[in-house]
């Protein structure tokens, strides 16, 4: 799927589904609301942000995750907002 620049950040589109083609269910934990789009941002090879939206890439943001790393690129935390 194509990469998209938005607000000076590069997002990659992914369609996530089960082998049968059914969309994956939203699961408890970080309580990510229902969404139909996930945008990813990177710093080098480290995933630093995840944006969840309804209404596609130009839709409404329903949640974001910020991923933090130590100096060795080890994931140290994930914060939802």
pTM over 0.75: no
For 43-80, the pLDDT digits (tens) are: 999 999 999 999 999 999 999 999 999 998 889 999 99
Task: List the domain boundaries for the chain.
Answer: 3-80
Per-residue pLDDT at 13? 61
Considering the chain, what percentage of its residues have pLDDT values greater than 70? Answer: 75
- Token pair, residue 53, equals 């939206």
Q: Beta strands 46-54 and 60-69: pairing type? A: antiparallel
């Amino acid at each position: 799927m194509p990469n998209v620049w938005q607000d000076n950040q590069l997002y990659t589109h992914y369609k996530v589904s089960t082998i049968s083609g059914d969309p994956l269910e939203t699961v408890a934990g970080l309580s990510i609301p229902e969404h139909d789009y996930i945008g990813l941002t990177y710093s080098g090879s480290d995933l630093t942000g995840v944006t969840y939206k309804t209404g596609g890439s130009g839709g409404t943001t329903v949640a974001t995750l910020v991923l933090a790393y130590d100096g060795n690129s080890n994931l140290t935390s994930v914060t939802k907002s």
